[in-house]
Each structure stands twice: as C-alpha cells, then as structure tokens.
Amino acid sequence: MRPTLVLLANHATRILLITLVGGFLALALARLAPGFGVDEREFDARLSEDTRAAIRQSHDSERNIFHFYFTWLSGLAHGELGVSPSLNQPVRLLLAERLPVTMKLLAWGLLVGWGMGFGLAVPLAFVRGCAYELGANAFATLFLCIPAAVLALFFLLTRSPSALVVGLVIFPKVFRYARTLLRQTAMLPHVLTARAKGLSGIRIFLWHYLSPAAPQWLALLAVSLSLALSAAVPVEVVCDLPGIGQLAWKAAMARDMYLLVCLTGIVTLATVMTKSAVELLGEFCRVRI
C-alpha cells in the first residue's frame, strides 16, 4: 500500500511542477516576444491622449512576469482565472464555452485515427509482403507528409467534417507503431505456443497480442492525445471552429498573457496527466502479469 501511495504522490508532484513550469515558460515567451504590451487601439487616431495612456497602463501589471504569475496563481487558488484583455471576457467563461468544442474534436479525431491506424495494422500482423502492405504503407506515408493545415483547408473546401483531419494526422503514427508492435508480439514464444495449441484467432489476438502489450498501447494513446492537441490548433484556425486551439492562436497573436498561461496550463496538464496515467496503468499491468 505504502509504495503505491508514494508512487501516486511522486506523480502528483511531477504533474504539479511540470504544469507550473510550463505556465511560467509560456508567460516568459509571450513577455519576450516582439509586440508585447502593444495594443492596436493605440493606432486609432480618434482616441485622446488620456485614453491612449490608459490603454498603455492596462498592460503594466503584465510587465513583471514573476509578479504577474504569482498574482495569477493567487487568483487561481480562489478559482479566478482573470479576464482576457484581447477578448474582454473572463477566461473561465471563454474556456467553458470552447473546451467542449475541442474535446469533441479530439474525441472524434482519436476515434478515427485509432480506428484507421489500428484497423489497417491488424491484418499486417498476420500477412506480409503483399500489395495490401504496400498500399497501407503508402497511404499512411501520404498522410504523414501532408501538414494538418493543408488537410484542414482541403476538408474545408470539400465541406467534410473537420474531426477527420485530426484523425488523419494521428492515423499514420498509430498505424506504424501498431504494425511494429503487433509483428513483434506475433513472434513471441507464448503466441507461437498458443497457435500450436490450436486456440482461436480472436482469443489469441485479444489475450496474447493485446494484453501483454497494454503498457505500450497506453503509451501510444498518450502520444496520440498530444498529437491530436497539436493538430487541433491549425484545424480550428483554418476551419474557424471556436475551440481552445483557435483561442490559443488568437491569444498568441494578441500576446494575451491571461489566456496563454491558462491554455498552456491546460495542455501541459492534459499531456502530463495522460502520461502519468499511462505509466501508472502500465505499472499496474506489469504487476498483474
């Protein structure tokens, strides 16, 4: 019991530290980027000197990133995420409205990507050197070469569901990894023994291919999630989907510190938590096996 608790505590500490550092690094990058603290409204000739000065002063609290981060974290402890200066809306509200869009996009993307990648890889565990292998490899390589933004543009023009783009970005990686993993598993002694004993194909596949490699599959799932999150930004921008990917793009363009620190925190948290969950599950599977 005690080692499990220590393990969980270690993971929790790691998640917290990485998220905090990630948030700070995002702030530092935004602060150092050219154009920080500049507001395009300053260019509006209709504004008076006072208004322009007020606009400039509105960014004063963001200049010292240590102070800003500390204040933001204090607010976070009270459930306050701040107000986005570029969109003039509470960050919490913006996230609440946009997170479901991205979650849906990711869910469909993962489903499509895994469905295609895994679906194409499974037959290759049993057969080799045929036209199917050549075709499947070429198909996966093709999508590996096309940038997510170009795919998104194509899907936009053809009015196809944009979730497919995320799926097509993930699929080549899933396909290649799954193919290799399944082939390696097929050569393991226990699989050969099971075959020799005349067990059914489905049973061998489920119990002797998939189960022993569960930690690797889970690791692939974590990688897929990171890939899907990265793909969500260009897809949402090109297809004008109001998710957090599009929000991240707008925040970066406007050097919006409140949004950037929150979004980096969310993405880092999601990635690190998935990784930790996979590691913990892997550990659990290893112990069980």
Partner 1 sequence: MNSRSRVLLSLIFFFVTTLASAQGGGQLRFCLRSDPKTFDPVLVDDDPSERVRYITGGFLMRLNRFTQQLEPELATSWKVSKDGRTISFRLREGLRFSDGTPFSADDVAFTMQRLMDLSLHSPTGDAFRSGDGKVQTQVLAPNKISVTFPAPIASLDQHFDQVAIMSAKSPKKEMAVLGPFYVSDYKAGSYLQLNRNPNYWKHDENGRQLPYLDSVRLDIQGNRDTEMLRFLRGEIDLVDNVDAEYYSRVQTEQAGSGHDSGVTLDPEQVWFNQTPKSPIPAYKRAWFRSTNFRVAIWQALNRDDIARIVYRGRAQSAVGMLSPADKFWFNTRLTTHSYDRQGALKLLAQDGFRLQNGQLFDRDGHLVEFSLVTGAGNKTRERIATMMQQDLSQIGIKLNVVPLDFPSLIERITRTYDYEACLLGLTNMSLGPDAQMNVWLSSADNHQWNPRQKQPETAWEAEIDRLMRTQASSLDPKKRKEAFDRVQQIAWEQAPFIYLVNRHALSAISPKLHNAQPAVLQPYVYWNIDRISKSAEVASK
* Residues at the site binding partner 1, with contacts judged by CB under 8 A: 34-36, 38-52, 54-55, 87-89, 93-94, 97-98, 156-157, 237-240, 242, 246-247, 250, 253-255
Of 116 and 251, CB closest to partner 1: 251
Show the tokens assigned to 7. 């393990």
Q: Pick between residue 43 and residue 128 the one whose CB is nearest to partner 1.
A: 43
The nearer residue to partner 1, 10 or 51, going by C-beta atoms, is: 51
Residue type, 261: V
Nearer residue to partner 1 within complex by CB, 97 or 279: 97
To partner 1, the closest distance from the beta carbon of 22 in angstroms equals 23
If we measure between CA atoms, which residue out of 171, 182, 113 comes closest to residue 137? 171
* Least distance in angstroms from the C-beta of 33 to partner 1: 8
Under 8 Å CB-to-CB from 252, ≥6 apart: which residues? 30, 260
Q: How many CB atoms lie within 10 A of CB 14?
A: 14
| Token pair belonging to 229 | 């999150």
Shortest gap between Cβ of 241 and partner 1 (angstroms)? 8
- Shortest Cβ distance from residue 69 to partner 1 (Å)? 21
Report the nearest approach of partner 1 to the CB of residue 94 (Å).
6
153/149 Cα distance (integer angstroms): 6
Task: State the Cα–Cα distance between residues 272 and 8, nearest whole angstrom.
Answer: 13
Would you say 77 or 240 has its CB closer to partner 1?
Answer: 240
Q: Which residue has the tokens 């006072």?
A: 50
β strands within the chain, DSSP E: 83-84, 89-90
Identify which of residues 246 and 271 has a Cβ nearer to partner 1 in the complex.
Answer: 246
Min separation Cβ 80 and partner 1, Å: 19
3-state secondary structure of 90: strand
- Contact by Cβ (8 Å): 180, 122: no
Helix (H, G, I), strand (E, B) or coil at 58: coil
